[in-house]
Structure 1
Amino acid sequence: MTDTIEVGTASAAPGEVADGWLPVAGLPTGGEERLPVTVVNGAEAGPTLWVTGGVHGDEATGVAVAQDVARTARDLAGDLAGAVVVVPVASPAGLRRNERTTYYGDDDPNRYFPDVERESARPPETQERVDTRLFEALADSADLLVDLHTAGVGSVPFAIRDRVLYGEGRTEPGAEDLAADLDRLVEAFGLPVLTEYPAEEYLEESLQRSTAGAALNTAGIPAFTAELGGHGVVEEDARAAGVAGTLAVAAEFGLLDSVPADVGEPGAGVPGAPVEFPVRRFVGPHAESAGLVRHRVEAGDAVESGEVVADVVSPHGEVLERVESEHDGYVVGRREGLAVYEGQAVASMAVRDDGDLVVPREDDGE
């Protein structure tokens, strides 16, 4: 039988449901920064699925999906074999500002989770301490993780599958086993799948220190990031797809016998991938001229290498540059805003990927 699960003040024995709070930092005005937690512990033994949302404070749909999964899991507690732990708001300091970043620091709060092969001579600052305390709670009980996000305005929903690294902390056969579970996880969710950046770029961007990256590559927990449309407001089709996908994950790994009939099919209501080849995440192409951007393609459009995806024009409307795609693939989102500077990306894309999912971790210079 599943043991009692405790996350912060939320404690649920088998067959119980508990709401509570996970303290993660002290506040200068007194009291604590704390994350809301729901623990739904089934009466029967099984894996523990964690669901996190809102690590970026303006990503509304991810928060809504996490809340709705918690409510549905509560309703299905009697049928649950295993447990569901939900943290719908992983960054209250971002949520209060309705912004991606927090007032702990003006950089990405999703780049401070522990890295098994990283050491620093400097003591951790506030955001790293917050992320570490969430990670420790997650690593203590999670067997699976779905981390819920959104991308840019008008983006199509997709799932990001991290590359599984091996080296000092994991053998290649161990990484292959972990990758097989990761494949099951992302396929069950039902959205188009983009593999993360190549390993060198992945480490340069510190994505092994994201919520899903750290769960996967430090804790060895199958984990992925779901990007559920645009940020700022709850998008209903993406919300429904996120709830259905998360419950489909629960069914795939034996927590539920099946997805409830009233929830819908995973991936329903969102566009499928317009290409048949495997793809990876790519930010670009980039403008070489400063000006005003005029997009020639929309999110979800397939493009070929050499195809023009945007024009950069002067304030008088003169075309300064035609920005061409460097790869075959499709557009997942377009640059927000009208102004573009030299070297800035005009789109986010899913581009052809011939790389391996399981890769050696090379020295990243730290």
Structure 2
Amino acid sequence: MPAQKTITVGTATAAAGTVARGVIPVTVLAGGTRLDIPVVVINGAQPGPVFWVDSAIHGDEPEGPLACQIALREVDPAKLSGTLVMVPVINVPAFEAAQRGNPLDTFSYDMNRIYPGRPDGYLSERVAYAHWEWLSKLADIEISIHSGGAHSYLAKSIFVDERPESVELATAMGEGWGCIMSSFNPKGNPMAMLKEIGKAGITVELGGRSATSPEKFAQVGRELANAILNVLRHYKMYPGEATYPSPRYKGQQEALLAPASGIFIPHPGIDFLKMMKKGDPLAKIVSIFGDVLGELKAPADGMFFGLRALPNVTVGDWCCFFCKVEGTRD
């Protein structure tokens, strides 16, 4: 068996069986400080694929960084075959502001819509491009971790590009990750760009504003770290048996908007990732006096995987992410 190679990402260089922390350099800001992307490389003692984990491309989604911290503590490079690269925060200015995008960069605010950016573009485009140069060169498989951020809570759900290798990677996330939908955003994100160069990437969702209490936040981080470990086990990069979701659903996302202004009240007894029939009640909008002003119903057979966090709504506000289930993948 050939020896494992030394792996370099930005300033982080890890020999076989070692861990290295560093940054992907981007630029210097007006105040003289550097803008860099933090990265950690866990390089296994044995050769194998490169599994790349990205998080916080949206700055109000801190669940991914927590998951990366846990995985960093728990993955032993002596037992690893291949390499685990983790970027805990891609969009550093957005993360520091706890906002979806860099508030100082309005022309390319949402980095998950302008990826992979441009080397001579707006600031967020330059950050994205610096990241893409390394991701495209080294990664074999990639997951991009997201959550509901400041506006909502999202249960375990995944977007794929429907190629077999993308669906396999989604399945490798493990037990409970059976809501696997076709990507609603065919370009502008890491998954779409990896497809263009023949590599597998997926977008995973878990967490958000409704789960930021100490206990809930820790639980979400743990679940995401478990998924990282499960992917490693599925691809025979780490010891242990992988688990898998059953059933695995195939579907399409639909965003449901508030039909009236008022207070958003979910229907009693409904729950995330629970199959519903078309027309089943999801929620109602009531006035400040309790009068029913509008209702939300399941647009098709399927399940909801995301709900808004703040009950007060204005007509047209986002309320719910619904998965219109087309069948199973089993």
What TM-score, normalized to structure 1? 0.78
Question: What is the rounded CA distance, in whole Å, between the counterparts of 1:317 and 1:186 in structure 2?
Answer: 42
Say whether 1:184 aligns with 2:168: yes
Distance 1:219 1:295, change over 3 A: same
Contact 2:248 2:328 in 1 (8 A): no
| Deviations, residues 16-41 of structure 1 (Å, cap 9, x unaligned) | 32111111232111131111111121
Alpha-carbon offset, residue 355 of structure 1: 11
Question: What is the rounded CA distance, in whole Å, between the counterparts of 1:54 and 1:213 in structure 2?
Answer: 17
Matches within 5 A, 1:46-57: 46-57=48-59
2:171 aligned partner, one-letter code: E
| Deviations, residues 246-274 of structure 1 (Å, cap 9, x unaligned) | 11111211211326xxxxx758xxxx88x
Contact 1:24 1:133 in 2 (8 A): yes
**Which of residues 130, 140, 152 in structure 2 aligns to 1:133?**
130
SS of structure 2 residue aligned to 1:38: strand
Matches within 5 A, 1:215-226: 215=194, 217-226=195-204
1:255 aligned partner, one-letter code: M
Question: What is the rounded CA distance, in whole Å, between the counterparts of 1:244 and 1:335 in structure 2?
Answer: 26
Distance 1:40 1:192, change over 3 A: same
Question: What is the rounded CA distance, in whole Å, between the counterparts of 1:276 and 1:84 in structure 2?
Answer: 26
Compute the RMSD of aligned alpha carbons.
2.7
Contact 2:299 2:324 in 1 (8 A): no
Contact 2:41 2:84 in 1 (8 A): yes
SS of structure 2 residue aligned to 1:145: strand
Runs of 5+ consecutive residues of structure 2 not aligned to the other structure = none
Of residues 234-243 and 31-40 in structure 1, the stretch that sits farther from structure 2 once superposed is 234-243
Question: What is the rounded CA distance, in whole Å, between the counterparts of 1:154 and 1:104 in structure 2?
Answer: 23
Question: What is the rounded CA distance, in whole Å, between the counterparts of 1:20 and 1:126 in structure 2?
Answer: 21
Question: What is the rounded CA distance, in whole Å, between the counterparts of 2:60 and 2:319 in structure 1?
Answer: 21
**Which of residues 157, 182, 189 in structure 2 aligns to 1:196?**
182
Question: What is the rounded CA distance, in whole Å, between the counterparts of 1:287 and 1:149 in structure 2?
Answer: 23
Question: What is the rounded CA distance, in whole Å, between the counterparts of 2:322 and 2:96 in structure 1?
Answer: 30
1:24 aligned partner, one-letter code: V
Runs of 5+ consecutive residues of structure 1 not aligned to the other structure = 165-178, 260-264, 357-366
Say whether 1:311 aligns with 2:284: yes
Distance 1:276 1:66, change over 3 A: closer
SS of structure 2 residue aligned to 1:157: strand
Question: What is the rounded CA distance, in whole Å, between the counterparts of 1:300 and 1:181 in structure 2?
Answer: 24
Question: What is the rounded CA distance, in whole Å, between the counterparts of 1:266 and 1:88 in structure 2?
Answer: 25
SS of structure 2 residue aligned to 1:24: strand
Contact 1:157 1:238 in 2 (8 A): no
1:77 aligned partner, one-letter code: P
SS of structure 2 residue aligned to 1:3: coil
| Moved >6 Å (runs of 4+) | none
The equivalent residue for 1:81 is 81
Question: What is the rounded CA distance, in whole Å, between the counterparts of 2:115 and 2:196 in structure 1?
Answer: 9
The equivalent residue for 2:251 is 279
Distance 1:134 1:277, change over 3 A: closer
SS of structure 2 residue aligned to 1:241: helix
2:35 aligned partner, one-letter code: E
Contact 1:159 1:186 in 2 (8 A): no
Say whether 1:98 aligns with 2:76: no
SS of structure 1 residue aligned to 2:260: coil
Higher strand share: 2
The equivalent residue for 1:171 is none
Contact 1:241 1:266 in 2 (8 A): no
The equivalent residue for 2:60 is 58
Size of the aligned set, in residue pairs, is: 316
Alpha-carbon offset, residue 154 of structure 1: 6.8
What TM-score, normalized to structure 2? 0.86
Contact 1:245 1:266 in 2 (8 A): no
| Deviations, residues 79-107 of structure 1 (Å, cap 9, x unaligned) | 21111111111121112112222134243
2:200 aligned partner, one-letter code: P
**Which of residues 188, 211, 223 in structure 1 aligns to 2:190?**
211
The equivalent residue for 1:246 is 228
Question: What is the rounded CA distance, in whole Å, between the counterparts of 1:42 and 1:355 in structure 2?
Answer: 36
1:160 aligned partner, one-letter code: I
2:181 aligned partner, one-letter code: T
Matches within 5 A, 1:141-180: 141-151=138-148, 155-164=153-162, 179-180=163-164
Contact 1:295 1:311 in 2 (8 A): yes
How much identity, in percent, do the aligned residues show?
25
1:252 aligned partner, one-letter code: H
